[in-house]
Structure 1
Amino acid sequence: MATIYDVARRAGVSASTVSRVLNGKQTVDAQLADRVRAAATELEYRPNALARSLRRSQTHLWAVLVSDINNPFFTALVRGVEDVAQQARYSVVLCNSDESPAKEADYIAAILAEQMAGVIVSPTNQPGHLARLVSAGVPIVAIDRRAEEVEVDTVTVDNTSAAELATAHLLDEGFTRVACITGPRDVSTAEERLEGYRRALRAAGRKPDPRLVRHADFRERGGYAAMGELLDHTPRPDAVFATNNLLTVGALECLVDRGLRVPADVGVFGFDDVPCATLIRPPLSTITQPTYEIGRTAADLLLRRVEDPDRPPSVTVLPTELHVRASSLRSRTPTSAG
């Protein structure tokens, strides 16, 4: 069965343009509209009946579908969503995909069945998942990660620049073999932060060494295993940039278990503030994201999308803060890694 995205590809337009044409909006150029209608006829596309039902429904539920509820990054973010939702008289249902495309698909089916008014999602980017929601007319805002196959409102941070600054700091401190532990290859945040790491190396006149890069799941066990692999191979790193908070915690645990000191043996810089980052010894250098503001901004965008379904999708990029602490300062020699 053809989808709205099949029609968009055939007509050479965006999915939102297809939606406007097939819903009788008069804001599309006549020639483009003719192409859309012709493509829909050729593909025998039929608009999802659920989309019309959703437009008529009076549901006041939003789903917030996060990739890992155990990650503290999402705690303040969800609070930001809820504060805006409550003011607008919406209730929030929290869903945890657990980085599982299968769980994400189940939640999307439930969202459609319950005719929820909107979705804020940290996507797994499994092909077709978010397209089901868009095709059904469900307002969507992506957070933390870009949605690869659909055009939706997105709230993120400048991952590449932040990672470049963190890596450049380690190089400026005199570390010469800076490693990077990043997330899965199909996740935009992982790739953007890896690119920032590489940019800093190139700017310092150094060729990125693939032997100093590890991909892992965005969890403690992934950081632990990746750090162990880096320590077991040559060249062994003298510093590591970990691209999320749980990866950082896992890497630190591995360094402690190996009896290595931070930063005397290995400097550490993390992405996302780790709970009690200033209480860890030595205190942990981190890039801090405005998690609460990400949630509020996403909720504001969702309200606007509900009110104006046909407006062009937007991308909001919020600033980060670099917090340099002892874990990345080579001039200090703490006695333990944590």
Structure 2
Amino acid sequence: MFKIKDVADAAGVSTATVSRVLANKPHVRQEVKARVMKVVKKLNYRPNRVARSLRSQKSSIIGLIVSDIENPFFQQVGRAVEDAAHEQGYSVMLCNNDEDPDKERRYLHLIRDENLAGIILSPTRHTADNFSETAELNIPMVVIDRRVSDAEVDNIMIDNVQAAETITTHLIEHGYRRIGAIFGIGSTTGRERREGFVQALKAHDLQPSTDWVKYANPREDDGFDTTLKLLQLPDPPEAILTSNSLLAAGALRALRESKKTIPEEVAFASFDETTWAKLVLPALTVIKQPTYEIGRTATELLINRIQDPTRSTREVTLKSKLIIRQSCGCQK
């Protein structure tokens, strides 16, 4: 990370002059101001607000950037992060990127500017696919839920391909052949779960139908609208799988409004165990992710990284669990 002295040296001025330019104070010649700002842009320099006033201060705050705070998955992860951080004397600043790369970038820069100790990040698809730029921020970081490319970084995830294959195989083995699926758009998670879904179908000599397999924004309303479209097909699926709990809530609402009996007319299964998944009738068959363990493990790895920046990176893959209930017409 460049310092104000680097800017001053490159522009051929004093650090005091750089400070006046950045603070937009008067009595700086336009030619000097332009030269300084050109260097600032070239170096991608951003002032460290904490360091400007308390250069010796070490932050005890970590940032948590998630895709959607309304998603129960991230609520449970956040609970674990806060618990584990508190035990180690850290506080947590929560940010919500809404799968928006620009919004995510602003939060990443804010965390760096405020000199936070580190970041736990569930990246947008754009960031996950182009992670080298984020890695250059040079902040202790742990990535959760999604695999990233082009960088060595601590990573916590589940095997999404295997989990999707497991729950799809469960549906197939109980007689369902026309299986529809709704996957979250804009994330590596959705792509990996679709891959596992397709693998299970092909392993049983079934071909995925573009009519029955959809991507949607991971929101309840999108799950509702997409499910209605599936149900209105001339040859609708006899079972539906959703890849997160928000899509599941929307799909369940669509099934009820369409007066479809579960599982007699349409079987239903989803990712994510929630408090309501076992309370609705019929209770839902789900893939239970180790959400609390994800948050706690990520926090422990991040604090270890803060304390020892040179240690080797780790990729931790945690196990999910298939919980069988009545929504697929069978229960253990």
Common fold, TM-score beyond 0.5? yes
Residue 74 of structure 1 corresponds to: 74
Corresponding letter in the other structure for 1:206 = L
**How far is 1:91 from its partner?**
0.9
Please state if 1:59 is matched with 2:59.
yes
Residue 172 of structure 1 corresponds to: 173
Cα distance per residue 1:215-244 (max 9 Å; x no partner): 001111121121112122243100011111
User: Do the aligned residues in 2 keep the contact of 1:125 with 1:148 (CA within 8 Å)?
Assistant: no
Corresponding letter in the other structure for 1:135 = E
- In structure 2, do the counterparts of structure 1 residues 304 and 287 end up closer, same or farther at CA, with 3 Å as the change threshold? same
Structure 1: distance between partners of 2:182 and 2:64: 28
Alignment of 1:257-276 (within 5 A): 257-276=257-276
Cα distance per residue 1:129-163 (max 9 Å; x no partner): 86455223201111111234533111111111111
**How far is 1:311 from its partner?**
2.8
Corresponding letter in the other structure for 2:153 = V
**How far is 1:98 from its partner?**
2.0
Corresponding letter in the other structure for 1:251 = A
**How far is 1:276 from its partner?**
1.8
Structure 2 segments unaligned to the other structure (5+ residues): 1-41
Which structure has the larger Rg over C-alpha atoms? 2
Structure 1 segments unaligned to the other structure (5+ residues): 1-44, 332-338
Structure 2: distance between partners of 1:311 and 1:46: 27
Corresponding letter in the other structure for 1:198 = V
Corresponding letter in the other structure for 2:258 = R
Residue 104 of structure 1 corresponds to: 104
Alignment of 1:247-262 (within 5 A): 247-262=247-262
Q: Tell me, what secondary structure is at the counterpart of 2:316?
A: strand
- In structure 2, do the counterparts of structure 1 residues 56 and 147 end up closer, same or farther at CA, with 3 Å as the change threshold? farther
User: Do the aligned residues in 2 keep the contact of 1:48 with 1:136 (CA within 8 Å)?
Assistant: no
Structure 2: distance between partners of 1:280 and 1:49: 50
**How far is 1:313 from its partner?**
2.4
User: Do the aligned residues in 1 keep the contact of 2:182 with 2:247 (CA within 8 Å)?
Assistant: yes
Residue 121 of structure 1 corresponds to: 121
Cα distance per residue 1:181-224 (max 9 Å; x no partner): 1011x411101111111111111111222221000011111211
Residue 220 of structure 1 corresponds to: 220
- In structure 2, do the counterparts of structure 1 residues 133 and 118 end up closer, same or farther at CA, with 3 Å as the change threshold? farther
User: Do the aligned residues in 1 keep the contact of 2:224 with 2:251 (CA within 8 Å)?
Assistant: yes
Corresponding letter in the other structure for 1:145 = R
Structure 2: distance between partners of 1:50 and 1:138: 15
Q: Tell me, what secondary structure is at the counterpart of 1:211?
A: coil
Structure 2: distance between partners of 1:193 and 1:220: 18
CA RMSD of aligned residues (A): 2.4
Identical counterparts, % of pairs: 38
**How far is 1:273 from its partner?**
1.0
Q: Tell me, what secondary structure is at the counterpart of 2:170?
A: helix
Cα distance per residue 1:91-135 (max 9 Å; x no partner): 111111122223212211211110111000111133598645522
Residue 41 of structure 1 corresponds to: none
Please state if 1:181 is matched with 2:182.
yes
Structure 2: distance between partners of 1:228 and 1:176: 19
Please state if 1:210 is matched with 2:220.
no
Q: Tell me, what secondary structure is at the counterpart of 2:240?
A: strand
How does the TM-score come out when normalised to structure 2? 0.80
**How far is 1:48 from its partner?**
6.4
